Copies of this chain bind each other. A is one copy, B any other.
C-alpha cells in the first residue's frame, strides 16, 4: 500500500491513491447502485459523477432515504478565499449547482476569510475578506439559484456562527485536532479553533428551520477531516451527522500528479485569464504524446497520463460519445497533441467568455446572494 502521500484540508502532497485514501478516511465508494439511485431522481447523471470524479461519499444513501420520505436535504459547500478562482475550484461548485437544480434544495455557501487569514501569509484580515468578495463573483457566475442560495462570509456572519461554533469547540480537544489535522504546538490558536467554524454550516440549516435537516456536502475529499470531527459530535449536539459527496482533486496542467497552484499561474486556468494567456497555458500543458509526430501517428498517444485529456474528462467534453472519440483518436494516433490542445482551448475559450460575462454581471447581484444579518 502506498503511504507516501498526505491529504489534509491544507496540504496535499505525493501521488494520491484514492482507494487508499477512502480506506484511511473511512469513506465509501460511489458505486453503480448509488448512481442508479441518484439517477432515479435526477433523470440523468452529471458527467462528474458518471465518470468517477465524484467518487466517494458518506451516508449518501441516507440522504436519499430521507429525500424519498419527503425530508429534503440542504447542500453545504464553501470556499477559502486565498486567491483568485481557477477551474479546479469550480469543479465542486458546478456539480453542486447541478444537485441544486435537480433536487431543488437550498445551498448554504460558507466563505472562510478567517481560515485563510490564519493559514496564509496575510498580514491583515481585510486581505482575505477582499478576496472573498472577488471569489463571490465567480460563485454567482456559476449560476446558483438566488432564491435557494445563501452565501455568507465568516467574519460578517459570525453573530450567527459563533454560538454554534462555541458548542462544537467545547467538544473538540487539541488532542483530536492534532490527530485529525496533524497540528503541532507551533500552530496558532486561530488555526486550532478554525475547524469549529467549518462545522457550523452542517447544523445551520437545522437551526434556521427549527428542526433537524439532513445536510449534504459536495466538496473535495481533502475537506473530509473537518466533517469527520463534525460527525463525531453531531449527535451529542442533537443534530444529524452531515453526509458528504467527494470529488478527486482536478490535476494541474503540468501532469496528472501536478497541482493547480496560484503561486504558479502556468499550472491552472483562472476565471479571469485572458484568452491569450489561457491558450498559452494549454499549449504548454503536459500530455501523453510521443516524442515525434511520426511516432505518435504510428503508436498513438496515452490519455491516461495526459493533463489535457483530464480537462476534457472533468469539464470540457460533457457528451460521452465526444469524450470517447477524443480518447479513441488519441490512442490510435489520429489525433495530435497540438490539435487536441487547440480543440480544448476552443472549449475553454467559450467557457471563459460566458463565465467572464456572467462574472461582470454578478457585480450587481451580490446582495441577492450574500446574507449578513
Contact = CB atoms under 8 A, between A and B. Distances in A.
Interface of A: 114, 117-118, 124-125, 155-156, 158-159, 162-163, 166-167, 169-175, 177-178, 183-190, 192-193, 195-196
A190 B166 CA distance: 6
Given A117-B170, A118-B169, A169-B118, A125 B163 contact: yes
Given A118-B170, A158-B158, A195 B189 contact: yes
14 contacts: A114-B162, A118-B170, A125-B167, A158-B159, A159-B159, A170-B188, A172-B188, A173-B185, A173-B186, A173-B189, A174-B174, A174-B187, A174-B189, A189-B192
Contacts of A177: 189
Highest count of chain B CB atoms <10 Å: which of A155, A172, A188: A188
A188 B167 contact: no
A364 B191 CA distance: 41
A129 to B, nearest CB: 9
A176 to B, nearest CB: 8
A4 to B, nearest CB: 27
Contacts of A175: 185-186
Contact of A190 (B117, B124, B169): B169
A189 B172 contact: yes
Contact of A118 (B166, B174, B187, B192): B166
B189 A193 contact: yes
A295 to B, nearest CB: 54
A15 to B, nearest CB: 31
Highest count of chain B CB atoms <10 Å: which of A124, A166, A192, A196: A166
A154 to B, nearest CB: 8
For the complex of A and B, the 10 pairs showing the least CB-CB separation, nearest first, are A169-B190, A193-B193, A175-B185, A158-B162, A174-B185, A169-B189, A159-B159, A172-B189, A189-B193, A114-B166
A169 B195 contact: no
A166 B174 contact: no
Given A118-B166, A162-B162, A174 B155 contact: no
